[in-house]
Amino acid sequence: MAARKSRRKEAGDVEAVSELAWPPRGDLAVLNHDLRRVDGPAKISGRARYTHDVRLPGMVYARVLTCPIPRAEVTLDLEPARKIPGVEAVIALAEGGTKWLGQPLAAVAASTPEIAEDGIRAIRVKLEPKPWAVDRAQATAEDAPKVLKDGNLSKENTSGDETEARAALTSADQSVEATYTLPVQHHVCLETHGVVVDYRGGDEATVYCSTQGTFTVPESAARELGLKASQVTTIVEHMGGGFGSKFDLGTEGAAACRLAKALGKPVHLMFSRADEFGAAGNRSGSRQVLHGGASQDGRLVALVGDIEKLGGLQGGSFPGRGPYIYSVEKSFLRVRSVYTNTDVARAMRAPGHPQASFGMESLVDELAYAIGMDPLEFRKKNLKGPVYARQLDAVAREIGWAQHPNKVAPGALKDGMGVGIGFAVSTWGGGGGEGCEVDVRIDRDGGVTASVGTQDLGTGTRTYVAAIVAEELGLPIESVTARIGDSRLGRATPSGGSTTTASLAPAVKDAAYKARTLFAERLSRAMDVPAERLRFSSGRIADERDPKRALSWKQACGELGGDGLSARGTFQPGLSSNGVHGAQAAKVRVDTLTGRVQVLKMAAMQDCGLPLNRMAIRSQIQGGMVQALSYGLLEERVIDSVSGWALNANLEDYKVAHASEIPEMVALIDDEDTRPVIGFSEAAVIPGHGAIANAVYNACGARVRDLPLTPDKVLAALGRVG
Amino acid sequence: MSRPSEADGKNPSPLSRRNFLRGAGGVATGGVLAHGLLAASRANALRGAGEVEELSGEVALALDVNGQVLTVRVEPRTTLLDALRVRCSPPLTGTKLVCDRGQCGSCTVIVDGRPAYACMLLAVDLRGKKIRTIEGLGEPGALSPLQEAFWKHDASMCGFCTPGFVMAIQACLERNPRAGLDEIKEGCAGNTCRCGTQPQIFAAALEAAQASVKGGK
């Protein structure tokens, strides 16, 4: 892939010694290898400092009180809390009419976490319940209370021609009409949302924040503190998971700022686990009535879909317009939102896509079996381009589809047990753009530092920042220090939509390239070799025509003045691309007597352009599969519509996948993709649960159209229970 | 729409730790009773061999953590987790608070050789016991063999669950240095990882177990 040469002459800049482009993959010494994370030892030894772990002199601990019912008229009496010795400040966050279950009502700051909790329990709360709607049934009932002023349904978005699509359905050889539903899922970041606000009066503050966007915080924190954004520093050394839910300051961060301002002391405020379930966002639920038609020779000829998004007080997510990934000759989709008195849905890893994927992949599977065609072949026939076909073939090989007996119908059971295989595919953008400023410094003592204010969500950002610079300068990764997570460093974009890598990696490359070019120019005089002939590799700088004319890295740096050398890089087009594909397969065993589904193996193939760190990429792919397995088999927010209570706002009753559920997993990187860097992480979470549901059908004939795929639903689908 | 009479807000958190402990008086048989739990737990405590002791307010406590005796001031209700993270000086924050209710394993420590959830133990019950936390295992530049295997296999992504997994598996391998996959899975069955690093964690744990087989331990 030829990268475009895009260079301007700047002060201190020199002419390029070679093209600004990623080297051929075979020439890479650091990138495209398995790299251990540079922050691994700190995390694995418990030394990494997260926002939760920040301890400052004079710091107080804050807790939040949340509303236990979906809608109420609220009156607070804060005085009993204020009387508790050790309670330092109590503030109201909402009074009067509340609108959603879990809405923060008040916050207490105290000298210890225990006393802050005492303060929360001491607040007298008068709740006058108002009629609410917490689920689709309540929100769409004839006498439903109005959740929003304009009612409980959004305007419809439509795409395609309904008349044509319905006509195509009528003339299809086979058709399937079914309703697919997906629950509201929680992010379950292990580090709950929160901040430590270090403000002791005066005109500067530091906000430690568990966030996906270092630079999304200063402006809103400054507003709460009465400061300018430039007076607020945000620190995100490490953060314990975000998955789309951690942008900006949030209610909790704003509350901490208010408490810090009132007290003139540092305030530590982290949501409790229960708060987190109610007030830190979720993946919107989905209900999809799909009617699809296929020709006997295996073409998808028609789709009519009626889709509802359940995003609480806001819209929720569903991707794009038209059928999800697959080509359908005639289609019509109607999409609308149903509002409820629950927390606003937030972006969650590939917003809308896992929902759309489950509906479409289930329907496609049902149509394949309806016409008696191998579901793998049916997929390949209806997907555009060669990439999906090769990826599906790869995961089919890995999962053992060729040897599998049930190709066109569910198989025979043995002792009540069935084994099945299912498939699904994914797509994502993952492109990048402007917005990152990276500084690379080379010091006279040989030290190399790459600095940018970006954040590492656990994806390995810090590691590839160091790796790109090491590659460019011909050094081992250990020789480069990556400094990130600090708003005093160069600006960086927030991590959403898998855009970080494709935005940041080019800027890092640009900075490293400029630093190398400048360095070569300086060494050219000292070594009496033209700059363009100097090669940086294996910790040496050598004349490519006469490799004996060389300096070690240390010697070379000794030629620098006391100021060393530094260069700033920005986004350069041509170093990243966009648009990824993935395919996944699942193999399951279903116990038809108990309905229990055990996933035996999952396999994925994913393209991602140039792989920066192969090991971290495989980890991301596996992590996507684990999350999809968890979503497909276990996860669901449950609210009792009558009492309005959250019934599983804890990690015992809201179950995520644990060791015993994790099968053998194989993550394959699609090395036939020769494009430059692309973000892909969201794609990995999209297809797994659909593949599992399809495998369950393939195993035993139980078509479960409602996630999570719990044993009762398997038994119901088999007609064993009513 | 019915109006729940319970929803008067007087008890916003019906399943508090205090209520739970009151209901499960058996935890108090160690001989130490927190003020306020006394009445509910007296019967159980008296059945135990130790004498009954009444504590209230902040008390000074000596804890044996990673082979060092640390003096901390705690309330009788202070959990071991809060004692480590908030009350120790310097604070030991490697042990993570995630659920605070014994549901996620992120605060796993080793007490007298057995894995335990630090959020479900009262600090005052830990007198005379040997507590090991992640800080006592290894450090950057001198990781333990298990930690080294975690690093090698990329068994830590966001990293927030990692100390809990390391300690749970460390306890498992101390019990059986040659543990196989099933035993390792059981050893960390109570630990939650949201990034989905479990496959790498299993690989790391198996490698550590294999190393001890080869080393003849």
Residues of B in contact with A210 (CB under 8 A): none
Q: What is the pLDDT of residue A2?
A: 39
Say if residues A482 and A454 touch (Cβ distance below 8 Å): no
> Which residue, A288, A284, A315, is CA-closest to A637?
A284
Q: Which helix (H) or strand (E) holds A642?
A: none
Please identify which residue in the block is written with the tokens 């990048």.
Answer: A432
Say if residues B80 and B92 touch (Cβ distance below 8 Å): no
Convert the pLDDT of each residue in B124-181 to its tens digit: 999 999 999 999 999 999 999 999 999 999 999 999 999 999 999 999 999 999 999 9
**Numbers of helices and strands, H then E, in chain A:** 17, 26
Convert the pLDDT of each residue in A605-641 to its tens digit: 999 999 999 999 999 999 999 999 999 999 999 999 9
pTM of the entire structure?
0.93
Residues 6+ apart with CB under 8 A from B52: B31, B33, B42, B45, B46
Report the C-alpha gap between A20 and A3 in whole angstroms. 7
In B130-159, the residues whose Cβ lies within 8 Å of chain A are 133-135, 137-141, 143, 147, 150-152, 154-159
Tell me the mean pLDDT in the region A518-547. Answer: 96
Helix extents (H) in A383-441: 386-399
Report the C-alpha gap between A493 and A505 in whole angstroms. 12
Report the C-alpha gap between A32 and B206 in whole angstroms. 26
Q: What is the pLDDT of residue B215?
A: 65
A41–B158: do the CB atoms touch at under 8 Å?
A: no
Among candidates B99, B159, B194 on the partner chain, residue whose Cβ is nearest the Cβ of A650: B99
Asked if B165 has any chain A CB less than 8 Å from its own CB, the reply is no
A459–B157: do the CB atoms touch at under 8 Å?
A: yes
A619–B200: do the CB atoms touch at under 8 Å?
A: yes
Q: Integer distance in angstroms from the first to the last C-alpha of chain B?
A: 66
> Which residue, A281, A285, A288, is CA-closest to A347?
A281
Residue A118 DSSP SS3? helix
Q: What is the pLDDT of residue B44?
A: 42
Asked if B12 has any chain A CB less than 8 Å from its own CB, the reply is yes
B1–A272: do the CB atoms touch at under 8 Å?
A: no
Residue A501 DSSP SS3? helix
Strand order of the β-sheet with B114-117 is B68-74, B59-65, B130-132, B108-111, B114-117
B188–A44: do the CB atoms touch at under 8 Å?
A: no
Residue A503 to residues A211, A304, A311, A573, Cα–Cα distance (Å) = 18, 37, 29, 9
A45–B140: do the CB atoms touch at under 8 Å?
A: yes
Report the C-alpha gap between A511 and A530 in whole angstroms. 21
- Can you give the pLDDT of all 217 residues of chain B as single tens digits? 334 333 343 444 444 444 444 444 333 333 333 433 443 344 344 444 566 788 888 999 999 999 999 999 999 999 999 999 999 999 999 999 999 999 999 999 999 999 999 999 999 999 999 999 999 999 999 999 999 999 999 999 999 999 999 999 999 999 999 999 999 999 999 999 999 999 999 999 999 998 877 765 4
Say if residues A325 and A385 touch (Cβ distance below 8 Å): no
Say if residues A381 and A183 touch (Cβ distance below 8 Å): no
Helix extents (H) in A474-613: 500-527, 553-558
Q: DSSP of A55-110, one letter per residue?
A: --TT-EEEEEEE-SSSSEEEEEE-HHHHTSTTEEEEEES--EEE-SBT-EEEEEEE
B8–A127: do the CB atoms touch at under 8 Å?
A: yes
> Residue A695 above 50 pLDDT?
yes
Q: What is the pLDDT of residue B24?
A: 40
Residues of A in contact with B90 (CB under 8 A): 55
Among candidates A43, A243, A624 on the partner chain, residue whose Cβ is nearest the Cβ of B156: A43
Would you give the distance in Å from CA B82 to the centre of its chain?
11
> By CA distance, what is B11's nearest residue in A?
A121
Q: What is the pLDDT of residue A721?
A: 65
A658–B103: do the CB atoms touch at under 8 Å?
A: no
Q: What is the pLDDT of residue A320?
A: 73
Residues of A in contact with B93 (CB under 8 A): 46, 49-50, 52-53, 55
> Residue A4 above 50 pLDDT?
no
Residue A575 to residues A23, A213, A472, Cα–Cα distance (Å) = 11, 23, 14
**In degrees, to the nearest 5, what angle opens at C-alpha B40 toward C-alphas B36 and B41?**
100
